[in-house]
Chains A and B, each alone.
Chain A
């Protein structure tokens, strides 16, 4: 078996995604999310110019869209070999671990770009709607980026494990839709349940929260510190699922 270094393997994965328009598909999904955010912002901005409200809204929007976005990215990458039934041939030229790690890194880079674009666009759109109070500082934006990226990476790792376990692309897609669904619904239950659902970690690692005073009917938004235990759990789950799927795929009879 030839030895393909990781940078070469990563380059190969990017070449395989050429003309699959992954970034375009990802941007389109983000565009849908931003249209929805703009619709909410236009009514909210008339009442208060507090930018923190956007940061408080984003976990719900992310829970609906980002799990499916990660699923689309990962599923497309793994489907290259599944569709043409190329695994056996590929693994005569490249180590199984190298293939899996390269696909994961490729997905991570694409998702990283998309999360960066989302972060920047949200700030630009928020300011353009007149939400000029409490504009997030670079540190807060970095916290948001890290929180969102880590959760997306966790979801991508879980979906990749499913994609590698089954050749049927319908299964990981349904898992992605299910994660979107559960992540959003569980947010309406006590927070302890959010720790059990991967896609609900957008709420666990939220950078802003809402205090609603029922007596005065006033909502106040506030910034939250980084939820380090939540971040650690997300990273550990990512590593555990990644390692287990890597081992399982390496030993899989194709």
Chain B
């Protein structure tokens, strides 16, 4: 079997292993419940502030996603990344992982795939709930399909940078809770980065910029390209770091 095919087989096996580890885990519920809570409260805010806001799909989107994308979705993704590394950090599982005949990049990519899927679950829930809530509330105006698909897609791509960085943090920090705090801090720094014009560069700002939750971002071709390129760059950088770390740092319990 060629090396490429072996690598692909290892990666597929690793991805399957990650999803097997998450079977029957409560983690899925959190990625559905947080968007649901955000939708309900966003709708309440939208109705309570209808005199101040411009009624429409854009205002509803900002009310539902503003705080979620700045602080709470990064924190939830951080918790997800911690969960993905937790099993390896327990007992002698780390030694087992290091002794397994799997390339280091496969380990990271598999966990990234799992984290990306979790993020996709959250975005899918946000999307579905946004559409349903908008229809129920009778939001005026036609549904901006193209804009909305663009914002959701860019938001998800931007979230991959957060997942990748948090996987690095959770690899290095064996405390389960601390990386979640770092993710929240990253979200705060992302908010500040966006205000100084680094919204399409700083990893924790990419999701916020892509989702355009404050309706202040102009998603032109340059901005979109920058978000895509920087997301990929951060993912590749994180993956390279993890691969080098796993290959070179000695086993420790």
Q: A64-B71, A177-B72 are in contact. Are A79 and B79 (CB under 8 A)?
A: no
Known: A28-B181, A181-B67, A181-B72. A170 touches B34 (CB 8 A): no
Given known A-B contacts A32-B189, A180-B184, A71 and B34 have beta carbons under 8 A apart: no
- A189 in the interface (beta carbon within 8 A): yes
Contact-size category for B: 35 or more
Q: How far is the CA of A178 from the CA of B67 in the complex (A)?
A: 12
Closest to B74 in A: A177
Inter-chain contacts of A181 with B (CB < 8 A): 34, 37-38, 67-68, 71-72
B192 within 8 Å of A by Cβ?
A: yes
Complex CA gap A189/B42 in Å reads: 11
- Chain B residues contacting A28 (CB-CB under 8 Å) are 181-182, 185
Main secondary structure of the interface of B (DSSP, over half): helix
Q: Which of A33-41, A94-102, A222-230 contacts B (4 or more CB under 8 A)?
A: A33-41
B1 in contact (CB, < 8 A)? no
A189 to chain B, nearest CB (A): 6
Interface centre among A21, A72, A170 (most CB of B within 10 A): A170
Task: Say whether, besides A171-B26, A174-B79, A181-B34, A36 and B181 are in contact (CB < 8 Å).
Answer: no
Tell me the bound Cα distance from A170 to B76 in angstroms.
Answer: 10
B70 nearest in chain A by CB position: A64
Give 1 or 0 for each of A180-221: 1 = CB within 8 Å of chain B CB: 111011101100000000000000000000000000000000
A72, B181: Cβ atoms closer than 8 Å: yes
Q: Which of A21, A178, A182 has the most CB of B within 10 A?
A: A178
Known interface pairs A75-B176, A170-B83; A32-B185 also in contact (CB < 8 Å)? yes
Q: Do B75 and A75 have beta carbons less than 8 Å apart? A: no
A28 to chain B minimum Cβ distance, whole angstroms, is 7
Interface residues as binary, A20-34 with B (CB distance below 8 Å gives 1, 0 otherwise): 110001001101110
B95 contacts chain A at the CB level, 8 A cutoff: no
> A177 is contacted by which of B86, B180, B192 (Cβ under 8 Å)?
B180
Does B92 sit at the interface, judged by CB under 8 A?
Answer: no
B136 contacts the other chain (CB 8 A): no
Interface: A83 (CB within 8 A): yes
Question: What is the CB-to-nearest-CB distance from A187 to chain B, in angstroms, rounded to a whole number?
Answer: 10
- Name the one of B30, B90, B181, B189 contacting A29, with C-beta atoms under 8 angstroms: B181
Complex contacts, A131 vs chain B, CB 8 Å = none
User: Contact: B37 with A182, CB < 8 Å?
Assistant: yes
A170 and B78 alpha carbons, distance in the complex (Å): 11
Are B34 and A33 interface neighbours, CB within 8 A? Answer: no
Q: How many angstroms from the CA of A185 to the CA of B48 in the assembled complex?
A: 12
Closest to A175 in B: B30
Instruction: Tell me the bound Cα distance from A69 to B180 in angstroms.
Output: 10
Among A32, A182, A186, residue most surrounded by chain B Cβ atoms (within 10 Å): A32
**Provided the pairs A36-B188, A83-B90, A173-B79 are in contact, do residues A76 and B72 lie with their beta carbons within 8 angstroms?**
no
Chain A proximity mask over B158-197: 1 for CB below 8 Å, otherwise 0: 0000000000000000011110111011001101100100
Cβ-defined contact, B37 with A177, below 8 A = no
Report whether A25 and B178 are in contact in the complex, using a CB–CB cutoff of 8 Å: yes
Given contacts A35-B192, A36-B191, A182-B37, contact A169 B72 (CB under 8 A): no
With A29-B184, A32-B185, A178-B37 given, name 12 new contacts (CB 8 A): A21-B178, A36-B192, A65-B188, A72-B178, A79-B177, A169-B86, A177-B79, A177-B184, A180-B71, A180-B75, A186-B41, A188-B49
Q: Could you list some 8 contacts between A and B, CB below 8 A?
A: A25-B175, A79-B177, A174-B26, A176-B180, A178-B33, A184-B67, A188-B48, A189-B48
Residues of chain B at the chain A interface (Cβ within 8 Å):
25-27, 30, 33-34, 37-38, 41, 44-45, 48-49, 67-68, 71-72, 75-76, 79, 82-83, 86, 90, 175-178, 180-182, 184-185, 188-189, 191-192, 195
- Give me the 6 closest cross-chain CB pairs, A-B, nearest first: A32-B185, A72-B177, A75-B177, A185-B41, A174-B30, A169-B176
